Amino acid sequence: MSEHLTEIIIFSVLFLLVSGMGFVAARWRRPDNLATLDEWGLGGRNFGAWITWFLIGGDLYTAYTFVAVPALLWSAGAMGFFAVPYTIVVYPIVFLVLLRLWSVSHVHGFVTPADFVRARFGSPTLALLIAITGIVATMPYIALQLIGIEAVLKSMGVTGHLPIIIAFAILAAYTYQSGLRAPALIAFVKDTLIYIVILVAIFAIPAQIEGGWSGIFSAAQAKFDATPAPGDGILLNANNQLQYITLALGSALALFLYPHSITGVLASKNRDVIKRNMSALPAYSLLLGLIALLGYMAIAAGVKPIGTDNNTIVPQLFDRMFPDWFTGVAYAAIGIGALVPAAIMSIAAANLFTRNIYKEYLKPDADEADEARVSKITSLLVKVGAVLCILFLDTGFSIDLQLIGGVIILQTLPAVALGLYTRWFHRGGLVAGWVAGMAAGVLLLYNIGNPVTGKLHFAGSAFPLEKLGLDTKMTIYAGVLALGVNLIVAVAGTFIARGLKVAEGDDATRADHYLADEGDPRIKELDLTTP
């Protein structure tokens, strides 16, 4: 531990500095009253283009991304690069879809995707399912942020769970006080640090490696040629291309269904802010692609992970290649990188609980101050839950949970994303589709094993088509297959429900609610129609 003293000092100083900002954030763009969900949970719905850029970017590209994606390239090669097409595809899709969600939420004061579903299909049951899905999918995602911090701490020789518990206690305290303003303010620091570290890394590290970038790719090629695994290499092979593209597409569709991404979008001031961001956010994709290649640099530099924890590859590479003080900065970037998304995720999960469970079922007459209070407390509980996940579950299991999270959040697509465009589906059909998609997804993941590690179940997201009786070695992303089942059942269920004349719910939204913008003179008047 003592040989890492410089790193530990720099890391701690930056970490504490940023935590201080988190507390001060309560006074930043100060509202008259922080005790409403609009203020605490959505930062006053008033963020402009820059803040939104940092907030959404800081929210989607997490500490875990920065350690796990390069680790995947390090171990499997080209397959890990799926993160790049995934983050290219997502923005044009969102450009049109979430814009409509922003407008309708602005008119009706929705805070969560489940609020929208409740009003659109007149179904508290469907909204409850969407809310539970969101909370369940988010919890392990927060736990992964802890794994990101853990990888950095381990590389500094800091072991044991106490440092992580302290870090999360600090995070919990300032999120409680400042709400969404805290991660929004911290995101500036986080992303600036990360950009500096990566720019230095992509110039400084190849310069120290024989043959530069060519040498890096040749070293990776040589490593994969020498392994017996059939799926690795610096290019895809015939059997994993379908997995690559379905994983990229499926992850893109899932990304903006996660409640925390929607929170980031709803906090923006107007439609133009969102549109501009969808063309500016790909700057992060560039960053992500470069970070991914750190995995190959680690191969070329002969870096080995600590024990069997591949997540330590990037921290170990930094430790090898940078002077101690800059390694400290890099570690701080990753550590702080965990705080921003973890804060937004816990706020999003808390809002789901407050709006769609507490207010809907437990205390229908809750006023705004009640809502804000319940959300603040729930956000604390969510973080405690995430810490317990790390303490009592094998970390490998948390990763499995996250994998399931991606597959299950996709099952909210018909109600949320398609619901923004059409009211054709019957609420009964959507509920049936959700149940079927969820069951199919978990069943598919259960049946994915990995012969190399000897794990029989939940060993990845690549479902072999062979198991469906097809004569092929190709694999496909389980989430896309499960979504297919969901959609088929939702369509069939809709026809059946209409045939049986099952009551339709009321639709509280109207066509032009999906087009409303900031300063719309009709918003005030429309506000009265809030359900």
Partner 1 sequence: MLTTPDRDRGDRSPWNWLLILPIILPLLPFLFNFDEPRIFGFPRFYWLQFAFIAVGVVCTTVVYQMTKRRR
Chain residues that interact with partner 1, rule: CB under 8 A:
78, 81, 84-85, 88-89, 91-93, 95-96, 99-100, 211-217, 234-236, 241, 244-245, 248-249, 271-272, 275-276, 278-280, 282, 285-286, 289, 293, 510-512, 514-515, 517, 522, 526
Distance of closest approach, residue 91 Cβ to partner 1, in angstroms? 6
Q: Which contiguous run of DSSP H or E holds residue 334?
A: helix 324-353
Q: Which is nearer to partner 1, 92 or 484 (CB)?
A: 92
Distance of closest approach, residue 235 Cβ to partner 1, in angstroms? 5
Q: Which is nearer to partner 1, 182 or 216 (CB)?
A: 216
> Is the alpha carbon torsion for 97, 100, 106, 109 positive or negative?
negative
DSSP 8-state symbol, 36: S
Nearest to 436 by CA among 411, 458, 406: 411
Q: Which is nearer to partner 1, 159 or 214 (CB)?
A: 214
DSSP string covering 155-185: HTT--SSHHHHHHHHHHHHHHHHHTTHHHHH
Distance of closest approach, residue 37 Cβ to partner 1, in angstroms? 26
Name the residue type at position 246. Answer: T
Q: Which is nearer to partner 1, 94 or 350 (CB)?
A: 94
Distance of closest approach, residue 421 Cβ to partner 1, in angstroms? 10
Q: Which is nearer to partner 1, 23 or 514 (CB)?
A: 514
Residues 6+ positions from 343 with CB-CB distance below 8 Å: 22, 171, 174, 175, 180, 182, 183, 186
Distance of closest approach, residue 210 Cβ to partner 1, in angstroms? 12
Residues 6+ positions from 367 with CB-CB distance below 8 Å: none
Distance of closest approach, residue 298 Cβ to partner 1, in angstroms? 16
Q: Which is nearer to partner 1, 202 or 496 (CB)?
A: 202
Distance of closest approach, residue 167 Cβ to partner 1, in angstroms? 33
Nearest to 380 by CA among 183, 140, 182, 174: 174
Nearest to 408 by CA among 463, 465, 455, 461: 461
Nearest to 290 by CA among 60, 98, 65, 473: 65
Distance of closest approach, residue 78 Cβ to partner 1, in angstroms? 6
Q: Which is nearer to partner 1, 149 or 249 (CB)?
A: 249
Distance of closest approach, residue 77 Cβ to partner 1, in angstroms? 10
Q: Which is nearer to partner 1, 278 or 497 (CB)?
A: 278
Residue 18 three-state SS: helix
DSSP string covering 403-416: HHHHHHHGGGHHHH
Residue with tokens 């890990």: 80
Q: Which is nearer to partner 1, 286 or 452 (CB)?
A: 286
Phi, psi of 46 (to 5 degrees): -140, 20
Quickly count: other Cβ atoms within 10 Å of residue 506's Cβ. 12
Q: Which is nearer to partner 1, 81 or 110 (CB)?
A: 81
Nearest to 429 by CA among 443, 445, 418: 418
Nearest-Å Rg of the Cα atoms of the chain is 23
What is the helix, strand, coil percentage profile of the chain, to 5? Answer: 75, 5, 20
Q: Which is nearer to partner 1, 276 or 320 (CB)?
A: 276
Distance of closest approach, residue 278 Cβ to partner 1, in angstroms? 5
Distance of closest approach, residue 122 Cβ to partner 1, in angstroms? 19
Quickly count: other Cβ atoms within 10 Å of residue 365's Cβ. 6
Report CA dihedral (283, 284, 286, 287) to the nearest 10 degrees. Answer: 130
